[in-house]
Amino acid sequence: MTFSAELWERGAAKVYEEILRHPFITGLTDGTLEHSAFRYFIIQDSHYLRAYSRALTLVAARATSEDDVRLFATHAAEAIAVEQGLHSELLGSLGLESADVDAAGSRPTTTAYMSYLTAVCATGTYAEAVAAVLPCYWIYRDVGRELLKRSSPDPIYAQWISTYGSEEFDAVVESVLAVTDRLGDEVGPGERERCHRHFSTTTRYEWMFWDAAYRELDWPVG
Ligand SMILES: Cc1ncc(CN)c(N)n1
């Protein structure tokens, strides 16, 4: 079994089924998701992407080959730019500006997820950093593909779905899966276990991120 398949089976298979069943996700395709929840999601995702692109530069700095340095540095600059472009269009369609993103600030789940990613990418090994960021690529690609089959009656949601279900995004994800499988042949048992832990933790955060948006969770105090 490839390392990526091993990570998915232990850390993501069950959570992924829960993600597809989550009312935020089903609401995107049947059009029942409240715009206020999607607005919350796009605002929080704008905060998340700022941290994520920094995390990818840390992954690039830890990479053990020139090709991998280039790969993650390119993703930090270009793949993220596509998502940020999508966000600024969607913010406009939802009647928001980037000042609204700053004013809303980062909510509890976003803050926890960004902090975890940053910590692993800053202090873990290269393989651990790749395992931590992998669900961000892989789950969005698979959710995007699944939702593309159903699309959405809401043009705003349909635009979001088409970005993550696109062939361009698929190629980006495949390149990271290939790196992961190569690293699977290089890691020792202790490091392998830490990779599993990071992969399953960030997979859970992916579910929690959609759930927080659905509930529009805010800080309980302050
Ligand atoms: C929370 C989250 N996870 C992943 C992605 C896809 N890069 C995203 N935009 N937002």
Query: What is the number of the ligand 1 atom nearest to the C-alpha of 80?
Result: 7
Give the 3-state secondary structure of residue 111.
Answer: helix
Asked if the structure places residue 33 within a domain, the reply is: yes
CB atoms within 10 A of CB 10: 12
Asked if the structure places residue 116 within a domain, the reply is: yes
Q: How far is CA 111 from CA 31, 80, 114, in A?
A: 28, 19, 5
Q: pLDDT value at position 141? A: 95
Q: Is the CB of 48 under 6 A from ligand 1?
A: yes
Domain range spanning residue 189?
3-215
Return d(Cα 101, Cα 103) in angstroms, integer.
Answer: 5
Residue of minimum CA distance from atom 6 in ligand 1: 136
Q: If you measure from the C-alpha of residue 84 to the centroid of ligand 1, how many angstroms do you get, rounded to a whole number?
A: 11
Asked if the structure places residue 220 within a domain, the reply is: no
Helical axes 3-11 vs 167-184, angle rounded to 10°: 100
What's the number of CA atoms in the CB half-sphere (13 Å) around residue 63? 21
**CATH classification at residue 146:** 1.20.910.10
Q: What token pair was written down for 97?
A: 């500006």
Asked if the structure places residue 100 within a domain, the reply is: yes
Asked if the structure places residue 145 within a domain, the reply is: yes
Asked if the structure places residue 221 within a domain, the reply is: no
Q: pLDDT value at position 92? A: 92
Q: Is the CB of 68 under 6 A from ligand 1?
A: no
The DSSP code for 95 is: T
Asked if the structure places residue 24 within a domain, the reply is: yes
The DSSP code for 96 is: -
Q: pLDDT value at position 130? A: 98
CB contact at 8 A, 107 and 46:
no
Q: What is the ipTM of this complex?
A: 0.98
Q: pLDDT value at position 64? A: 94
The structure's pTM equals 0.96
Residues lower than pLDDT 70 in the chain: none
* Structural domain count of the chain: 1
Q: If you measure from the C-alpha of residue 176 to the centroid of ligand 1, how many angstroms do you get, rounded to a whole number?
A: 15
Q: pLDDT value at position 80? A: 80
Mutate to test the pocket of ligand 1, among 40, 43, 48, 147 (most ligand atoms within 8 A of CB): 48
Asked if the structure places residue 93 within a domain, the reply is: yes
